[in-house]
């Protein structure tokens, strides 16, 4: 889909039922949802996109604003002809899904927020900066390990795939621009405040929140 002059890549599965659109987090891509798409496709039309700056979408993220990323979500819904959809977003993607829903709550059937950004001040700023700055396997592996309760799940393939993505033209600039969205000017606390989006949605959309008790990026207490 072309959205605001940017190419936004997405994939879909399933032939019938409501539309479900997955929105990944910072440094992720549409493949983050592979293991959820197949089982859900038996009942729903399931899509996942690459946000600007990620995957195989255009790497231009403009000023990095959440609203610009939300444009990609609504643009994909338009491209697939979905009048209404369920949105599921993780971390930064949770804030993006909220932003998209706040614009037109009647278009969103439900929101599923997985450890979403924007619901507290505390965040692991060291992880975010470390991910943006890492240039080698040795630098990246301990950073990625913070995403897992069991760090043995961080395989060489996981690290190599992320390094390949980070070396694409435009990715370094995109990731560092988005740091300015995720972090406040002090560089240590969250820069996103999702309160306004929640207020705009009101009670119009059912919301489910999922949070890992051992989350080391955004504390589960913010649930």
Q: Helix 171-182 and helix 92-103: axis angle, to 10°?
A: 70
- Which tokens in the block code for residue 77? 């819904």
Query: For residue 98, what pLDDT is reported?
Result: 97
Digit-coded pLDDT (tens) for 17-32: 999 999 999 999 999 9
Digit-coded pLDDT (tens) for 101-115: 999 999 999 999 999
SS3 of 139-170: HHHHHHHCCCCCHHHCCHHHHHHHHHHHCCCC
Digit-coded pLDDT (tens) for 89-103: 999 999 999 999 999
Q: Using an 8 Å Cβ cutoff, are 73 and 43 in contact?
A: no
Specify the residue for token string 């709550």. Answer: 105
Please give the average per-residue pLDDT across 153-163, as a whole number: 95
Helix (H, G, I), strand (E, B) or coil at 21: strand
Number of H helices, E strands in the chain: 8, 8
Digit-coded pLDDT (tens) for 166-207: 999 999 999 999 999 999 999 999 999 999 999 999 999 999
SS3 of 81-125: CCCCEEEEEECHHHHHHHHHHHHCHHHEEEEEEECCCCCCCECCH
Identify the CA nearest to 116 among candidates 33, 217, 8: 217
- Which tokens in the block code for residue 37? 């798409």
Q: How many other CB atoms sit within 10 Å of the CB of residue 43?
A: 12
Backbone φ and ψ for 110, nearest 5 degrees, come out as -160, 160
Query: For residue 96, what pLDDT is reported?
Result: 98
Q: Using an 8 Å Cβ cutoff, are 103 and 34 in contact?
A: no
Identify the CA nearest to 97 among candidates 14, 192, 2: 192
* Residue 33's pLDDT band (cuts 50, 70, 90): very high
Q: Helix 125-133 and helix 171-182: axis angle, to 10°?
A: 170
Q: Using an 8 Å Cβ cutoff, are 192 and 96 in contact?
A: no
Q: Which residue(s) pair with 49 in the sheet?
A: 10, 23
Identify the CA nearest to 184 among candidates 109, 116, 125: 125
Q: What is the residue-averaged pLDDT of the chain?
A: 96
């Amino acid at each position: 889909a072309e959205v605001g002059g940017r190419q936004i890549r997405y994939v879909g599965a399933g032939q019938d039922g409501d539309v479900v659109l997955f929105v990944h987090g910072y440094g992720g891509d549409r493949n983050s949802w592979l293991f959820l798409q197949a089982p859900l496709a038996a009942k729903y039309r399931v899509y996942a996109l690459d946000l600007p700056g990620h995957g195989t979408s255009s790497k231009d993220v403009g000023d990095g604003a959440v609203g610009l990323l939300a444009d990609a979500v609504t643009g994909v819904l338009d491209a697939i002809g979905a009048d209404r959809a369920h949105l599921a977003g993780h971390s930064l993607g949770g804030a993006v899904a909220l932003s998209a829903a706040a614009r037109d709550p009647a278009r969103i059937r439900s929101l599923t927020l997985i450890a979403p950004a924007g619901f507290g001040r505390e965040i692991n700023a060291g992880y975010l900066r470390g991910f943006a700055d890492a240039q080698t396997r040795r630098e990246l592996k301990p950073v990625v390990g913070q995403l897992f309760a069991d760090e043995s799940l961080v395989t060489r393939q996981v690290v190599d795939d992320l390094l390949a993505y980070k070396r694409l033209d435009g990715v370094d600039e995109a990731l560092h621009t988005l740091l300015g969205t995720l972090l406040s000017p002090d560089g240590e606390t969250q820069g996103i405040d999702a309160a306004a989006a929640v207020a705009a949605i009101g009670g119009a959309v059912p919301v489910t929140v999922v949070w890992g008790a051992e989350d080391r990026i955004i504390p589960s207490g913010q649930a």
